[in-house]
Amino acid sequence: MLQGSERIRLITMLGTLCILGMLIFHAVRPGTKKPPAEREVEQTPADRTPESATAGKAANTQKSPEKEAVAAGPTDEDPEEQAAAKDEFQALADGTLGIQPEEMFAYRRVFDWVAHQSFAELKKGAEKDVPLDDLMRTPSNMRGKVIQVDLDVRQAIPFEDKSLGDEKLYEIRGFSEDSGAWLYFAIVPELPAGMKIGAHVEERVRVEGYFLKLQGYLEAGAKPRAASLKAPLLIGRAKRLTSSDESAAPADNNWLYAAAACFVLLSFIVTLVQFIARRKAKRHQSQLEECKVQRSRDWPERDKPSDGDTACAPGRAEDEPEEGFDFKKGDV
């Protein structure tokens, strides 16, 4: 059986483990903390910090204009544009590497729609939270629709498109939370200000773009005859995302900490009281045994106290007469 001090240590350890378990449960429980809210940021040269200004001097940093270049012209809301695009979309083939010659008509038309709208205008008609599975299984049903997707960009490659009058464009590749290891491709006329370009980029952007087709691509290190993979190709505009400094939501189970602390404190008090009572009982028993030993030395052999003798009980003098018979009075 555990001794008093051992019991205290055991209960204290169990209480500490309870508190630790509650802390872990609170940390991993979904919904106890609000994730940082992401907001779209348009960073102009006047708003740039010294760090971003220094980074902007590097050759691999894109310096975008302060305002989006938006030209006047028809968009997909024009009935004539919708009818023409419907016929041109029939020529699109999913899984091919690059834009094929027969697909250039649909590609130019969609790019014109983007050139005639700002990011905010594209966002108004965008469909949010479109599953990647819908794009991969039924791409024909999604062609020409504006989709909003947040990407963790890993590549941002500039290129010149001869079909669009040697205009400089940017192809960005990244992953969404829904796609996992599957890529998204997006072609945009401009990159957000301060965004780095190259084959090794780590940026968080929001793309508002028209879904055109499933673009074929080869993964790094693929063999010459390896089958190509497919990625949704969007044509639109992009903005960087930054996390706002929202504080964590107050936990709705703070009472658990108070309850755990009260449990540990109460357990400690109960154990301490039991420990003191046990020590007192041991001390009482020790005094009784010493008294019996002393009496056995002083008294004759016939007068040795028995185990049930309470004459040596602490708190009563040895010469104190027992209640009952009074020798002085001689009464029985």
- Provide the 10 A C-beta neighbour count for residue 119: 21
325: in domain: no
Helix ranges, the chain (H) = 4-28, 50-56, 79-88, 104-115, 119-124, 132-137, 255-298
Question: Residue 61 gets which letter from DSSP?
Answer: B
Q: Which residue has the tokens 């016929």?
A: 87
231: in domain: yes
Residue 165's domain is classified under what CATH number? 2.40.50.140
* Residues 183 and 237 grouped into a single domain: yes
Query: Who's near 72: CB < 8 A, 6+ residues apart?
Result: 116
Please give the residue range of the domain that contains residue 159: 37-243
* Contact in structure between 208 and 119 (CB atoms under 8 Å): yes
Q: Which of 216, 243, 270 is the last residue before a domain boundary?
A: 243
What pLDDT is recorded for position 9?
65
**For residue 240, what are the β-bridge partners?**
41, 205
Q: Which residue has the tokens 């020798």?
A: 327
* Residues 185 and 140 grouped into a single domain: yes
pTM here is: 0.57
The tokens describing 182, both together, are 């599957």
* Contact in structure between 134 and 126 (CB atoms under 8 Å): no
SS (H, E, C) 151-169: EEEEEEEEEEEHHHCCEEE
162: in domain: yes
47: in domain: yes
* Residues 187 and 83 grouped into a single domain: yes
Residue 225 amino acid letter: R
Q: Cα–Cα distance between 72 and 78 in angstroms, integer?
A: 13
Crossing angle (nearest 10°) for helices 4-28 and 255-298: 170
* Residues 12 and 57 grouped into a single domain: no
320: in domain: no
* Residues 173 and 261 grouped into a single domain: no
287: in domain: yes
* Residues 24 and 48 grouped into a single domain: no
What pLDDT is recorded for position 160?
85
Q: Cα–Cα distance between 296 and 212 in angstroms, integer?
A: 108
Max CA separation in the chain (angstroms): 138
What pLDDT is recorded for position 245?
43
Q: Cα–Cα distance between 218 and 228 in angstroms, integer?
A: 5
170: in domain: yes
* Residues 260 and 132 grouped into a single domain: no
* Residues 300 and 273 grouped into a single domain: yes
Give the CA distances from residue 28 to residues 23, 25, 32, 56, 192, in Å, rounded to whole numbers and listed in that order.
Answer: 9, 5, 8, 39, 35
What pLDDT is recorded for position 10?
67
* Residues 78 and 220 grouped into a single domain: yes
* Residues 74 and 200 grouped into a single domain: yes
323: in domain: no
Each residue's pLDDT expressed in tens, for the chain with a length of 332 residues = 556 566 666 666 676 767 767 666 665 555 444 455 566 665 443 343 334 334 444 445 555 445 677 888 899 999 999 999 999 999 999 999 989 999 999 999 999 999 999 999 999 989 998 999 999 999 999 999 999 999 999 999 998 887 776 678 999 999 998 888 899 999 999 998 889 899 999 999 999 999 999 999 988 777 888 888 999 999 999 999 875 443 334 445 566 666 767 776 777 677 777 777 777 877 778 878 877 777 777 665 555 555 555 555 555 444 545 554 454 555 44
* Residues 258 and 279 grouped into a single domain: yes
Angle (CA) 158-160-162 rounded to 5° is 160
Half-sphere exposure of 323 (CA within 13 A, CB side): 2
* Contact in structure between 205 and 237 (CB atoms under 8 Å): no
* Residues 127 and 212 grouped into a single domain: yes
If one counts the domains in the chain, the total is: 2
